[in-house]
């Protein structure tokens, strides 16, 4: 996957399209990411003991990486990433501004 935890991404499909958020969790095997505040799902929590109330909380559900676009931390634009390799290092570069990101 080209995006990692901590990256800022743009949501390009679904009801959160056009919004930006930070990746909180990445699941490389499933190619899914959890983006802060995106794709919220309501979760009902049952009361565990009598007297306690059940609650409804909102949790960010994972979305497929094809639905997000990386936003370059250097130029702030949604961009494709490329990889460059030097003798002992592999790093990501932004194809828009050419900077390591």
Decide whether 67 or 79 has the Cβ nearer to Zn ion: 79
Closest approach, Cβ 46 to Zn ion, in A, equals 47
- Count of helix runs (H) and strand runs (E) in the chain: 0, 9
Distance, in Å, from the CA atom of 59 to the CA atom of 66, rounded to the nearest integer, reads 20
CA dihedral 60, 65, 68, 73 (to 10 degrees): 100
Closest approach, Cβ 71 to Zn ion, in A, equals 9
Distance, in Å, from the CA atom of 68 to the CA atom of 51, rounded to the nearest integer, reads 43
Closest approach, Cβ 100 to Zn ion, in A, equals 10
| Structure letter (DSSP) for residue 100 | B
Decide whether 26 or 94 has the Cβ nearer to Zn ion: 94
Query: Which residues of this protein are in contact with Zn ion, per CB under 5 A?
Result: 72, 74-75, 94, 96-97
Decide whether 27 or 91 has the Cβ nearer to Zn ion: 91
């Amino acid at each position: 996957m080209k995006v990692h935890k901590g990256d800022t991404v743009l949501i390009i499909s679904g009801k959160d399209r056009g919004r930006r958020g930070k990746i909180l969790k990445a699941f490389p095997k499933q190619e899914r990411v959890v983006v802060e505040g995106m794709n919220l799902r309501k979760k009902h929590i049952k009361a565990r003991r009598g007297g306690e109330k059940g609650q409804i909380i909102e949790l960010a559900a994972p979305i497929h990486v094809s639905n997000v676009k990386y936003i370059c931390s250097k130029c702030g634009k949604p961009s494709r990433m490329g990889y460059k390799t030097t003798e002992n290092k592999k790093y990501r570069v932004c194809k828009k501004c050419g900077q390591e990101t």
